[in-house]
Amino acid sequence: MKSLIVSLHDFHPGSRELIAEQIQELSALGVDHFSILVIPQYHHGKRTCDDAASLAYLNQRHAAGDDLVLHGHYHDRRGNKGGSFFLTQLYTANEAEFLDLSDGEFMHRIELGSKLWAQQDWGLHGFIAPGWLMPSVQDKLLKRMGIDYTTRLSEFTQIQKNNRKKSQSLCYSTRSSWRRSVSSYWNPFLFSSLRRTDMVRLSLHPHDFAWPLLKQQIKEILQMALADGFQPITYRDYAKM
């Protein structure tokens, strides 16, 4: 089976409407399964569990078969110390929350976030660190906590099966004009290689569709993937294969 996995990053009360619009537009193309990366308390602000509209939407998507993924807890580095300037500032804009946590704090934050899944009876299957930045040695902690899978920018890991699959995700960086320009050249080039494999991953962020040229390119890539026979699937369901 050729798998197409579309993950929508950074769901929180402030991004709900943008992500809902993305899902609506991508569904019209024929993408009918999504992995939604949920942040329990984005940048230490309003908690997702306290926002009725967010909970209603996530419950709707869960009922439709989407995969709700724990995506850090705060998605920022408040209280964190150290870390390279490149990874903490240039690459992630101070959002690499799980880059350098102690084992105890690592597990504590996942336990905090998992309460939302328990309260809503969603079933927590996946954890993906903000920026995909998490030491590989801490996969053992995810296994201990019963997490089925995680991903990094260039890898999908079935935690319980100790199985790693190389897979580079398509991803757009939009924080500056030069980043958008590089993304617009890199992603079609990467897709030309990925379409010869059995997995295409596309990782979107809430503001990616704010740029018409990038939005059109994303849609064209998805249309080509579907025409090539790639089947939309969630990370959760892929981990079961």
CATH fit for domain 3-239, picks 3.30.70.580, 3.20.20.370, 3.20.20.70, 3.10.129.10? 3.20.20.370
The DSSP H or E segment spanning 109 is: helix 103-120
Split at pLDDT 50, 70, 90, the class of 88 is low
How do strand 155-158 and strand 163-166 relate by DSSP bridges? antiparallel
The reply to whether the predicted model has a pTM over 0.85 is yes
pLDDT at 175: 86
In the chain, where do the E strands start and end?
A: 3-11, 35-38, 67-70, 149-152, 155-158, 163-166, 170-171, 199-204, 231-232
Residues linked to residue 36 through DSSP beta bridges, in sequence order: 8, 68
Q: Tell whether the model's pLDDT for residue 97 goes beyond 70.
A: yes
Residue ranges of domains in the chain: 3-239
At 108, the amino acid letter reads H
